[in-house]
Amino acid sequence: MSNPIITYELYIDSLSSYKMLYPQYVFDGTTEKLLTLNYSLNRLDFYNLEEGYLENSIYYDPNLDYRKISGYSFFNEDSIFLINEFNELFLTNSEGEIRIKTNLKSADVPGKPHIVPGHLDLVVSGNHLEIANYFIAQKGSSSIIRIQNWNDETIEPICPIEDEYVEGFHGIFEYLYWSYQQVGQCYYVNWPTSNSVYKYDRNWKFEKKINLEGKGQKKNRMILKKGLSQDDLKQKPSISEMMDISSNYTSNFVFVNLLYNPYKEEFYRIVGYPIFNGVIDIFQTGLENLKRNYSVMVFDKAFKFKDEYAIPYDQYLIKYGAYFVTKDGLAIQRENADHDDIAVFEVYQF
């Protein structure tokens, strides 16, 4: 990968971690801001990205209605959506005032509703909201839930999880994280085990699969072929199944995320490469031995492949989701453990 065109340094207060959780980029035409969720302090932090300082924070008292915030989506100062660990969704403003609140948990719709900027964005359309149902890998379950009415808490499951994804077990580490991007009147869904991206129309009706392998084939094996009923999920895997999970995890690719850059009208797909082809017990091995090489595949708006760029090994916080699209390119946070009061993002242009 070529040298970064821009470097941002954000000065973090002593109570915050330099690993930025859930970054959301906001550009109003003149000023660039970066929003992050400060999970430990239960607050939303607003940074001036160009000058590197913390502009302001919104604190959400965990002892009151908010409890523990687990995700957010910023639309404007009057429309900030939050979701907590109890499946409650809030519409708030920049003063931290609750405008609307509803509970998203329904016995009829299993799963865990969640919002993650750049991964699982909240979709606001007309009178309803659409939220990712993160994540339950069971046949017939819904990957999206739709809220038709705040007042009566009407919840509708839509967009069933594709059968080929739930034919086997994928639920470890990076394989939990699926994502989608809305581009015009279409959605593009990225499953972490599939070298294809799924295209849906505005009503989440499946249209087609688009193969996005980039340079060289990127084929994966099923991690574990088994049923995914509730009873199956409760059963502990056998020793042979654990070894199968371990060997396939280390020798498979992981398609971490698909991002769209509306400023440059191009897609970035972040790919984690196999760790090695040997067999180790990943459940007994330290995470330092499970580091991947990553690359960024770049496609134009019509998914015509442009190029693929290797990311320098173990220098960036890819597995923490510490990256975001800017008007200039893709910003990725550097590993910076020696200076825990500074978060460094480098912007690459492809």
Q: What is the pLDDT of residue 197?
A: 94
pLDDT in tens, 129-159: 999 987 655 666 788 888 887 776 678 888 8
Local structure of 88: helix, strand or coil: strand
Local structure of 29: helix, strand or coil: coil
Q: Token digits for 206?
A: 């499946």
Return the ∠ at Cα 218 (arms to 209 and 273), rounded to 5°.
125
Please tell me the distance from the alpha carbon of residue 138 to that of residue 119, in angstroms, as a whole number. Answer: 21
Q: What share of the chain is helix, strand, coil (3-state, %, to 5)?
A: 10, 45, 45
Q: Token digits for 36?
A: 């992050």
Q: What is the pLDDT of residue 16?
A: 74
Q: What is the pLDDT of residue 250?
A: 83
Evaluate whether 137 touches 161 at the Cβ level (below 8 Å).
yes
CB atoms within 10 A of CB 184: 9
Please tell me the distance from the alpha carbon of residue 93 to that of residue 71, in angstroms, as a whole number. Answer: 15
pLDDT in tens, 44-90: 999 999 999 999 999 999 988 889 999 999 999 999 999 999 989 99
Which of 87, 18, 62, 119 is CA-nearest to residue 337?
A: 18
Please tell me the distance from the alpha carbon of residue 89 to that of residue 84, in angstroms, as a whole number. Answer: 7
Please tell me the distance from the alpha carbon of residue 189 to that of residue 1, in angstroms, as a whole number. Answer: 26
| CB-based burial label for 158 (10 Å; 0-12, 13-18, 19+) | middle
Q: What is the pLDDT of residue 229?
A: 54
Which of 127, 121, 136, 139 is CA-nearest to residue 189?
A: 121
Q: What is the pLDDT of residue 142?
A: 80
Peptide bond into 169 cis (omega under 30): no
Instruction: Report the length, in residues, of the chain.
Output: 350
Report strand pairing: 168-169 vs 88-92.
unpaired
Helices (H), the chain: 230-234, 239-251
Max CA distance (Å), the chain: 57
Residue 64: how many CA atoms within 13 Å on its side-chain side?
9
CB atoms within 10 A of CB 196: 17
Residue 302: how many CA atoms within 13 Å on its side-chain side?
1
Give one DSSP letter per residue of 187-227, joined into a string: EEEE-TT-SEEEEEETT--EEEEEE---SS------SEE--
Q: What is the pLDDT of residue 302?
A: 95
CB atoms within 10 A of CB 25: 18
Under-50 pLDDT residues of the chain:
228
Please tell me the distance from the alpha carbon of residue 223 to that of residue 335, in angstroms, as a whole number. Answer: 30
